[in-house]
Amino acid sequence: MPTLCIGLNKIALLRSSRGGQHPDLVGVAAALCAGGCRAVLVHPWPDHRHVHPEDVLALAAMEEVRTGQLQLNVGSDLSAEVVDLVVAAQSVHAFVVTPFQARHRTTQRGWTGAEDQERLCATVARLRPDTLVSVFCDPAAEGIELAAAAGATSVELNCRGFVETFGGEREAAEVERLRAAAAVARGQGTAVHAAHDIGLTQLRTLTEQVNLDQVSVGHRFIADAVVAGAVAILPDYLRAVG
């Protein structure tokens, strides 16, 4: 059964949109851990659009993270600022290398031959063995083979195509792309993770059809949590004004 990793970016976005510390990332991570979650993910992008460097340090200092109850995964591009932050945090389980362009709201593509392969190799050498390195890859051989050649422990398959075609005629073809990519990764000796806009409706199909070690959910998980939470706490608020 793959590990479920929950992304906290949108919790940070909600907090940062108003200022202050509510909702608190550490508190949310602790609650998720208490509920059975064993991995969380944050992206301190260079423009600090939601997660800030101090958030990473605070999460890394959690007892649950330091004792290994909760894995802290950090994703970003190879900017020196973020790599230094991962080193300083000390308790980061894995660094997920993800191509980033500020004009995009979220990641658009995985690692390719156009990226700085030499820098990736140097980053892997610097972080391991204390922090594992995963590389976000499209479901194609090129990026996976480059990640493995750099010494990455795992690849994180881009599920964007699968999510966008889910329930349609192209779904089966996208599933097959992911399965083939997972086979390539295992042939290269890397673990296989999956991510990008996966929701509850896609999760079971994905994990049943593709051999995965970890799957990350973020935006859709938090969106579902907001709706479910609003319904759950509405009676309390109604009583408070009644």
pLDDT in tens, 204-231: 999 999 999 999 999 999 999 999 999 9
CA 10 vs. chain centroid, Å, equals 12
Does residue 15 contact residue 51 with C-beta atoms inside 8 Å? no
- Other residues' Cβ atoms within 10 Å of the Cβ of residue 219: 16
pLDDT of 101: 65
Ordered by start, the domain boundaries in the chain are 3-241
Does residue 43 contact residue 9 with C-beta atoms inside 8 Å? yes
pLDDT of 115: 82
Write out the two tokens for 106: 């979220």
**Interatomic CA distance for residues 135 and 147, integer angstroms:** 6
Domain spanning 3-241, CATH architecture: Alpha-Beta Barrel (3.20)
pLDDT of 74: 98
Q: What is the pTM of this model?
A: 0.93
